[in-house]
Amino acid sequence: MQVYKAPLRDMQFVMHELHNSAAHVAEIGQTDVTAELMDSVLEEAGKFATDILLPLNASGDEEGCRLENGVVRTPKGFVEAYKKFCEGGWGGLSSPTEYGGQGLPEILGKMVEEMQCSANLSFGLYPGLTHGATLALEGHGSEELKRRYLPKMIDGSWAGTMCLTEAHCGTDLGMMRTKATPHEDGSYRINGAKIFISAGEHDLTENIVHLVLARMDGAPRGIKGVSMFLVPKFVPSEDGRPGARNGVTCTAIEHKMGLKASATTQLYFDDAVGWLVGEPNRGMRAMFTMMNAERLSVGIQGLAVAETAYQSAAFYARDRIQGRALSGAKYPERAADPIIVHPDVRRSLMTVRAYVEGCRALSGWVATALDLESKAADPERRQEAEEFVAIMTPVVKALFTDLGFELSSMALQVYGGHGYIRDHGMEQLVRDARICMIYEGANGIQALDLVGRKMPAHMGRFLRQFFHPVQAFIETNSDDPKVLPLAKSFAALQQATAHLAQVSQKDPEEAGAAATDYLRLMGLVALGFMWAKSAKVAEAKLPHANGDAGFYKAKLTTAQFFADRLLPQTGALWGAIKAGKASMMELEEAAF
């Protein structure tokens, strides 16, 4: 049984206590967004996730999407749920008010996103992609395009997609073949075929707005010759309503391991009418606005699925009776003890819990930077925030989604054979979580982005936005033994960074060989920092916590578990990085 109730208390802790939402909203000039308001939004979003989205998760997986005569049918209940989602105004939570959004801070938006993906990842993808598309359009589109499309996309009546991948090019988009030919009225005609397009065709909205990468005639070769085009499924007529059917057809939907209620489509563009978004040949720049936002969101998807896996496993571990506690029967009146008494089951539950809460704290930190990046009054603060987001984006994407899969699998293990059969929904979580490691830039690519692009940028300036706060925290709390494990791990990270900067200058393959381990090392230090800070907050609050004492005690215990049992992996990772590429690259290709 998939169990999910929005972890409201922990979300409030992250927003208000750990990241001081009151100071944060003051800095971004939104003091009217009070803690009380944020809490009431969280509460309603939580109800929506549990009551509307969760019941469709297993049934949507079972039924999947169907392609009938070029039209994709989403599973039973999705159309109604999406209608309620739009009526609730949830799609426009953080979108600008001038286009009908609510303009609420990302620190709140990311929590709501997490809830939706916890309850139903497949469902979450539809509005998630639309939101990403609005960001790209808002950042790069002409006033005319923005005025015509943004309000409809923000209120959810039209959906959005991003069309990058073609059959022969995924990671290497420079090989792209889809063509754009200028038309005399200023628009373009798009011809080509795209694959793996999430939400490329469905029955949830009256129109779908595709953001398509294509090459203009005579464009430079490679990635520098790619432009972005807006291609609607129905071309809006003068009054703004969906008009003539455009030349975009869904030729197939993919049969996938998981995420079955999300339609992954192949799209064929046959002289489709499109409009240029941004400048010619700068399509990747525009698409990166969307992709960076999506990468953070995909990271949160990993966290979101792990949360549901945790709640489900915790429920089962308290319910399932089997064997006796090693220290003697804890429930002698019952035929056996619930399996939560066993240390190894505890190990699983605590591991999932410690990672999930740590990731939520980190996502809250990155979300504050997202707000500051666009809304801080001080340009220097905006710049710093932008650099912090740049360095943390690959970390959040890859770390959270690797963990999403590892932790879902660990939670499944708590169920034993009952996790492997379909009845309890645990195997669905594992299957669903798996895609997050692949899409929006596979995690190996994220690690390369971190090590090859973000780390060396401006002589390592981006890295400072992360290193400096950690360093300052460790120095301020040097007398606190609880902070010692963090200090040790941080030292390993610093050494690894210096080592990598040195060896990769001589041999870029060294950076490539170390990238994934380095990303995990940095991610663990970031989570360790969040846990050490959380413990400080909990410790200060505990003496006058009254009825909330249990929450703070659990925070302190989980922080200790993270420092004792998970953070030490940093030492092993540093060891692996130090060993270098030699044994990895040694074998002749023919030996594989």
Partner 1 sequence: MKLLVPVKRVVDYNVKVRVKSDQTGVELAGVKMAMNPFDEIAIEEAVRLKEKGVATEIVVVSIGVAACQETIRTALAMGADRGILVETDASPEPLAVAKMLRALVAKEEPGLVIMGKQAIDDDMNATGQMLAALLGWPQGTFASKIAIEGDTATVTREVDGGLETVALTMPAIITADLRLNEPRYASLPNIMKARKKPIETVKPADLGVDPAPRLTTLKVVEPPTRVAGKKVGSVAELVGKLRTEAKVI
Which residues are near partner 1 by CB under 8 A?
A: 5, 8, 32, 34, 36-37, 40-41, 44, 47-48, 51-52, 84, 87-90, 92-93, 102, 545-551
Question: What is the enclosing helix (H) or strand (E) of 400?
Answer: helix 379-414
* CA proximity to 247, closest of 223, 271, 264: 271
The residue among 54 and 526 lying less far from partner 1, judged by its C-beta, is: 54
In angstroms, rounded to a whole number, what is the distance separating the alpha carbons of residues 47 and 112?
Answer: 11
The residue among 110 and 295 lying less far from partner 1, judged by its C-beta, is: 110
Residue 383, sorted as left (phi over 0), alpha (psi -120 to 50) or beta, turns out to be alpha
Question: Beta strands 234-236 and 242-245: pairing type?
Answer: antiparallel
The residue among 8 and 169 lying less far from partner 1, judged by its C-beta, is: 8
The residue among 81 and 470 lying less far from partner 1, judged by its C-beta, is: 81
Nearest distance from residue 158's CB to partner 1, in Å?
A: 18
The angle that helices 549-561 and 343-375 make with each other, rounded to 10 degrees, is 100
Question: Beta strands 264-277 and 188-198: pairing type?
Answer: antiparallel
Helices (DSSP H) in 460-548: which residue ranges? 461-476, 484-506, 508-541
Classify the C-alpha dihedral 533-534-539-541 as positive or negative: positive
Nearest distance from residue 390's CB to partner 1, in Å?
A: 30
In angstroms, rounded to a whole number, what is the distance separating the alpha carbons of residues 555 and 578?
Answer: 34
Strands (E), 33-80: 66-68, 71-73
In angstroms, rounded to a whole number, what is the distance separating the alpha carbons of residues 199 and 252?
Answer: 12
Compute the radius of gyration of the chain from its Cα atoms. 24
Nearest distance from residue 32's CB to partner 1, in Å?
A: 8
Report residue 510: phi and psi, to 5°.
-65, -40
Give the CA distances from residue 210 to residues 69, 274, 388, 400, in Å, rounded to whole numbers and listed in that order.
Answer: 20, 9, 30, 28
The residue among 77 and 280 lying less far from partner 1, judged by its C-beta, is: 77
Nearest distance from residue 547's CB to partner 1, in Å?
A: 2
The residue among 34 and 495 lying less far from partner 1, judged by its C-beta, is: 34
Nearest distance from residue 228's CB to partner 1, in Å?
A: 29
Report residue 569: phi and psi, to 5°.
-60, -20
In angstroms, rounded to a whole number, what is the distance separating the alpha carbons of residues 142 and 131?
Answer: 18
* CA proximity to 580, closest of 513, 515, 520: 513
In angstroms, rounded to a whole number, what is the distance separating the alpha carbons of residues 138 and 430?
Answer: 35
Nearest distance from residue 508's CB to partner 1, in Å?
A: 48
Nearest distance from residue 89's CB to partner 1, in Å?
A: 4
Nearest distance from residue 130's CB to partner 1, in Å?
A: 15
Give the CA distances from residue 457 to residues 366, 390, 464, in Å, rounded to whole numbers and listed in that order.
Answer: 19, 10, 11
Q: How many helices (H) and strands (E) in the chain?
A: 20, 11
The residue among 72 and 108 lying less far from partner 1, judged by its C-beta, is: 108
Q: Which amino acid type is present at position 115?
A: M
The residue among 420 and 551 lying less far from partner 1, judged by its C-beta, is: 551
Nearest distance from residue 288's CB to partner 1, in Å?
A: 28
| Catalytic residue, candidates 63, 440, 586, 589 | 440
* CA proximity to 262, closest of 362, 159, 344: 159
Contact 226, 215 (CB under 8 A): yes
Within a 10 A sphere around the Cβ of 107, how many other Cβ atoms? Answer: 28
The residue among 156 and 302 lying less far from partner 1, judged by its C-beta, is: 156
- Does the active-site annotation cover 63? no
In angstroms, rounded to a whole number, what is the distance separating the alpha carbons of residues 489 and 526?
Answer: 10
Catalytic residue list: 440
